[in-house]
Amino acid sequence: MKPPFHALGMAQEQIAELETQLLKRKLRMTESPCDTEAIVENRKLHAFCSNDYLGLANHPELIAALAEGANQYGVGSGASHLISGHHITHDLLEKKLASFQSEHIPNARALFFSTGYLANLAAITGLVKLAKPEEASIYSAELNHASIIDGVRLASTQSKASVILFDHQQLDTLQKALKHDKRPLKLIVTDGVFSMDGDITPVKALVAIAEQYDALLLVDDAHGFGVLGEQGHGILEQFNIVSERIIYIGTLGKAAGVSGAFVCAQAPFIDWLIQKGRPYIYSTATPPAIAHALLKSLSIIESNEGKSRRRQLNQLITYWQNEMHFSDWKKMSSCTPIQPVILGSNANALAAAKLLDEMGYWIPAIRPPTVPAGSARLRITFSANHSLEDLQKLIWVLQKIEQQVQVGQLS
Ligand SMILES: *Cc1c(COP(=O)(O)O)cnc(C)c1O
């Protein structure tokens, strides 16, 4: 007789449990490039779900740049950066990324990562290692992205850093805790734009607090880079921030349309992450062709074309904020391309997403643990490739569907 296989039974039971709680996540497969129309399981859908805010993911010049990069440099980097994978295009990209923040962070240097998830893990665990064990505190905004949460957890295990959560809309608790904090290294961590609510962190106030209490301020601008600021340089440009205490993280798979991420900070911090950032050290370098394509993306972001794409995005945002009226569902006052609609229960959010799908719209239902329990929502995102007419049709469809899914009726 075969011995029992407990793990498999556990997996089946756990999945069934998620299914009954309406929390099982399912993959959907798309066969088309990322754009405002998507082919999903042989059906054409209007997509309002990607983070490709500037509409660059399928841009002909970027496609050409990636192909050119592959022709010139091949497809793989072959090794991690510290072994032999660090290519001249990585270096050019890092210099360009640093130049985007150089008016905001003195002596800025940038370090390129394959993903934002890894950049957050490396930056948070690495910076905390500047202090001896038990000598660092991390102050993390409650609604921060999962990759920050995981970075903080890892840092608290590895370095016995203390962890204090704070409400980014109410900074008193943060200030009070910092006032009594005797640990030599203090790191405040926040999303720049909160990824599920679309609101912007009070970066000016946080910089002032960081200066007052001798803390570092890590801002994860995954949804602001390319979108915020006259030149698309991100949240620091938008709010005219200048501070030597900022650790800026941007990601390159969202508005920049390709993939990857970077940390930008004063040179000694970057040098330190190269020494001690394990997720940087022990991961194969991104293919140089990707860095080559990203250089093209950065030049579009800064150009007049980038500006007109941001203008289009802002027109869509303003139109939505002025014209979208719900009776029961709740829209949020977001001035970014992330425009959530709160429905509350998982059942309602799923029902709405399903009705949207039937009407030809791809908008996902976001449920816990990605968002707090009881705040399941539709996460609507705009791209500069959406026209005003696309948005007007969406508003019409949402109003129809709201009548069919009344809040509370299904939960
Ligand atoms: C998407 C996202 C990340 C992760 O970036 P990837 O490059 O997709 O790994 C990190 N932080 C925030 C706030 C994000 O929204």
* Residue nearest ligand 1's atom 5 by CA: 116
Report the separation in Å between the CA atom of 385 and the middle of ligand 1, taken as the mean of its atom positions.
22
Return d(Cα 230, Cα 116) in angstroms, integer.
23
> What is 25-54+304-406's CATH topology?
Aspartate Aminotransferase, domain 1 (3.90.1150)
pLDDT tens digit at each of 411 positions of the chain: 888 899 999 999 999 999 999 889 999 999 999 999 999 999 999 999 999 999 999 999 999 999 999 999 999 999 999 999 999 999 999 999 999 999 999 999 999 999 999 999 999 999 999 999 999 999 999 999 999 999 999 999 999 999 999 999 999 999 999 999 999 999 999 999 999 999 999 999 999 999 999 999 999 999 999 999 999 999 999 999 999 999 999 999 999 999 999 999 999 999 999 999 999 999 999 999 999 999 999 999 999 999 999 999 999 999 999 999 999 999 999 999 999 999 999 999 999 999 999 999 999 999 998 999 999 999 999 999 999 999 999 999 999 999 988 644 544
Report the separation in Å between the CA atom of 117 and the middle of ligand 1, taken as the mean of its atom positions.
6
Return d(Cα 392, Cα 377) in angstroms, integer.
20
Report the separation in Å between the CA atom of 118 and the middle of ligand 1, taken as the mean of its atom positions.
9
Which pLDDT value is given to residue 135? 97
Q: What is the pTM of this model?
A: 0.96
Which pLDDT value is given to residue 411? 42
Q: Which residues contact 168 (CB under 8 A, 6 or more apart)?
A: 141, 142, 143, 190, 194, 201, 202
Chain centroid offset of residue 81 CA: 24
Return d(Cα 376, Cα 345) in angstroms, integer.
6
Answer whether 195 contacts ligand 1 (Cβ < 6 A). Answer: yes
Answer whether 144 contacts ligand 1 (Cβ < 6 A). Answer: no
Residues of the chain with CATH 3.90.1150.10: 25-54+304-406
The CATH code belonging to domain 60-302 is 3.40.640.10
Residue from 97, 114, 120, 147 to probe ligand 1 pocket by mutation (most atoms less than 8 Å from CB)? 147
Query: What's the full length of the chain, in residues?
Result: 411
Q: Which of 150, 131, 139 is CA-nearest to residue 210?
A: 139
∠ CA 140-146-152, nearest 5°, is 45
H or E element, residue 219? strand 216-220
Answer whether 381 contacts ligand 1 (Cβ < 6 A). Answer: no
Report the separation in Å between the CA atom of 360 and the middle of ligand 1, taken as the mean of its atom positions.
27
Answer whether 192 contacts ligand 1 (Cβ < 6 A). Answer: no
Residues of the chain with CATH 3.40.640.10: 60-302
Return d(Cα 91, Cα 70) in angstroms, integer.
17
Which pLDDT value is given to residue 2? 87
Which pLDDT value is given to residue 408? 47
